[in-house]
Amino acid sequence: MSEFRLPDMTRARLRGKYQAPIVRDALNITPSQKELGAGLFYHVITYGCQANVRDGEVISGILEEMSYRHTDLLEEADIIILNTCAIRDNAEKRVMGEIGFLQNYKRMKPSLIIGLCGCMAQEEAVVNSVLSKYKTVDLIFGTHNLFEIPQMIEQIITKNQKAVRVYSHQGSIYEGLPSVRSLNHKASVNIMDGCDKFCTYCIVPYTRGQQRSRLMGDVLAEVQGLKDAGYKEVMLLGQNVNAYGKDIPDNGDFATLLNEVAKTGIERIRFTTSHPWDFTDGMIEAIAANENIMPFVHLPLQSGNNEILKRMGRRYTIDEYFAIFDKLKAAVKDIAISTDIIVGFPGETDEQFADTLKAVEYCKYDNAYSFIFSPRPGTPAARMEDDITMEVKKARLLQLNERLGYYSKLNNQKWVNRTVRVLVDGPSKNRPEIFSGYTPQQKLVNFEIKGASVGDIIDVKITQARKNSLNGIQIVGENDE
Ligand code: 5AD
Ligand code: SF4
């Protein structure tokens, strides 16, 4: 077995100031590795957040450099990679179930390579249990080890050895890795990786390493390249985009980056995720001033109670949160705001949960993701005393979701009879005569189409509001029909 080092959770928390090395032309691939996948097929299954989806595109790019071709069919695949998420326990359970299921394919085709990567691969307990329970897994690599895929696959094929490479170091920035983008009109652009916030419930700072921002010039060159290739929308991605640039000198902060990306003239710019901490006035001004920065912000609340926020390590009070929320609403016309909320944090009382409901009444979110707290091994919150039963937590989640659903429908109703600009994504799976796309506010619209194709930005009149989407009809100018 090759190099096998696992993350050290205790040491991770002690890390100090760090400027990550930039590795350019990061894929070091030999001529023989380039041929290894000739005539063979790959399939990547991605779970979790948009950072993982972007990693999945890079993994596909590397496999295609090795001459593998994509297949949608598991039975046709010669290599199947599970690109995993560790944010909550249920995400991990699904992956473990999937590995069990894939063993059947390996029985039918013993040469099949089964790989596990992503955030779960950064967890010591998970790697140990996969190695001992599932002999069929040949390949495990961490979030810092993508560039080593060719060497690892070569080792499996030519030496018939398992390959396990998981670094727990702070991380580097890899430029120039190939990727296969999943869409031709919308693209994600990583602006940073890792997180230094260490919210007490969250495993991300351990699995993705220390915050590392890409140089502004590299981000801008990527956006410009996408625009030149006909892309209409970019999503600037990071665990906490507001902190962009803080780890590199003479680069500029996130507000500067937003203004610079806007200058490329690409039609739609989005970004996620924004921590309320570090949300500057400069960012709000940039969103308000640039028409191509979409009026939509995901602003995770997590809890509406100051004591819980403190124990979560969030570093803002509910009043500070409301202040940012109010400024955004005042500065950006028709802005939509979404959020994340955790219920049942250890020891959360009925009164503390009621504060979360009050915050929801105040913010009346356009959209929200709500979760029951899931203890993640190694994080401080997993060690906190918790006397709240699962029944109580489930009841709180139901009550919260009822309010969240009420407000998302109420917000959607405001759009009925208005005409909105929609970036067309394509026909719906079940009803090909109905197309869907998103408004600037990131509202999903299903509409009858008169004439448009994927990537067009068209006018749609909203006819009906639902909880999670809008219905509409395409408006076509007199001369267009
Ligand atoms: N339990 C429940 N929810 C969590 N999240 C992060 N960690 C946990 C956890 N341990 C939620 C937060 C975060 C979103 C991506 O996932 O709300 O914003
Ligand atoms: Fe996790 Fe907090 Fe970092 Fe978000 S900001 S990834 S919740 S530690």
For the segment 387-419, what is each residue's pLDDT rounded down to a tens digit?
A: 999 999 999 999 999 999 999 999 999 999 999
Mean pLDDT, rounded, for 317-327:
98
Decide: 202 in ligand 1 pocket, CB within 6 A. yes
Atom number, ligand 2, closest to the C-alpha of residue 313: 2
> Does 432 score more than 90 pLDDT?
no
> Does 4 score more than 80 pLDDT?
no
What per-residue confidence (pLDDT) applies to 451? 82
pLDDT tens-place string over residues 103-120: 999 999 999 999 999 999
Decide: 386 in ligand 1 pocket, CB within 6 A. no
What per-residue confidence (pLDDT) applies to 481? 40
Supply the residue whose CA is at minimum distance from atom 2 of ligand 2: 199
| Dihedral sign (CA 204, 205, 210, 211) | positive
Atom number, ligand 1, closest to the C-alpha of residue 372: 2
Supply the residue whose CA is at minimum distance from atom 4 of ligand 2: 239
Ligand 2 pocket test: pick from 204, 247, 345 the residue with the most ligand atoms within 8 Å of its Cβ: 204
Distance CA 127, CA 162 (A): 13
Q: What is the average pLDDT value for the chain, to the nearest integer? A: 93
CA-wise closest residue to 240 among 203, 292, 290, 278: 278
Q: Whose atoms come closest to the Cα of 369: which ligand?
A: 1
Spell out where 61-157 has E strands. Answer: 69-70, 79-84, 113-118, 137-141
> Does 464 score more than 60 pLDDT?
yes
Supply the residue whose CA is at minimum distance from atom 1 of ligand 2: 202
Atom number, ligand 2, closest to the C-alpha of residue 196: 3
CB-based contact 30:121 (threshold 8 Å) = no
Ligand 2 pocket test: pick from 143, 239, 315 the residue with the most ligand atoms within 8 Å of its Cβ: 239
Decide: 312 in ligand 2 pocket, CB within 6 A. no
Cα of 198 vs centre of ligand 2, distance in Å, is 6
Mean pLDDT, rounded, for 415-425:
98
Identify the weakest region by mean pLDDT among 129-133, 189-193, 352-356.
129-133
Cα of 310 vs centre of ligand 2, distance in Å, is 14
> Does 374 score more than 50 pLDDT?
yes
The secondary structure of residue 121, as a DSSP letter, is: G
> Does 5 score more than 90 pLDDT?
no
Q: Whose atoms come closest to the Cα of 298: which ligand?
A: 1
Please, which pLDDT band fits residue 8 given cuts at 50, 70 and 90?
low
- 352 versus 26: the higher-pLDDT residue is 352
Helices (H), 229-381: 254-263, 281-289, 306-312, 318-331, 350-363
Please, which pLDDT band fits residue 430 given cuts at 50, 70 and 90?
confident
Mean pLDDT, rounded, for 410-434:
93
Distance CA 311, CA 305 (A): 10
Decide: 340 in ligand 1 pocket, CB within 6 A. yes
Task: Give the up-direction half-sphere exposure of residue 407: CA atoms within 13 A in the CB hemisphere.
Answer: 20
Cα of 14 vs centre of ligand 2, distance in Å, is 16
What per-residue confidence (pLDDT) applies to 18? 78
pLDDT tens-place string over residues 271-315: 999 999 889 999 999 999 999 999 999 999 999 999 999 999 999
Decide: 87 in ligand 2 pocket, CB within 6 A. no
Decide: 314 in ligand 1 pocket, CB within 6 A. no
Mean pLDDT, rounded, for 187-192:
97
Pair type for strands 163-165 and 470-474: unpaired
Identify the weakest region by mean pLDDT among 369-373, 406-410, 451-455.
451-455
Q: Tell me if residue 430 falls in helix, strand or coil.
A: coil
Please, which pLDDT band fits residue 171 given cuts at 50, 70 and 90?
confident
> Does 132 score more than 50 pLDDT?
yes
